[in-house]
Amino acid sequence: MPLKSYKPQTPVIVYPLISDGAFELLPSSEIEQTILYRDHRLKCMLNIVSFVRECLNAKRICSQS
């Protein structure tokens, strides 16, 4: 099964996802925007890796039964 390609997300989409409702996220410079965006992408990738790892573990357990 080929991997699905996701379109790149813009900061406009990313900021609401990583901001807390208790405060407003207002990056003051381009470098801050880049850092926040990269942090968000890393978190997404780690979530995907964790999900795949859990799926493989479940498959291994099922095949041992």
What's residue 22's pLDDT? 47
For the CA atoms of 46, 48, 53, 56, the dihedral, rounded to the nearest 10 degrees, stands at -170
Mean pLDDT of 10-17: 63
What's residue 23's pLDDT? 45
What's residue 16's pLDDT? 61
The residue extents of the domains of the chain are 39-65
Of residues 43 and 27, more confidence is placed in 43
- Count of Cβ atoms closer than 10 Å to residue 48 Cβ: 11
What's residue 3's pLDDT? 67
H/E element holding 58? helix 30-64
**Within 13 Å of residue 21, how many CA atoms lie on the same side as its CB?**
0
The pTM (predicted TM-score) of the whole model is 0.40
Mean pLDDT of 31-37: 78
Helix axes 11-18, 30-64, angle to 10 degrees: 70
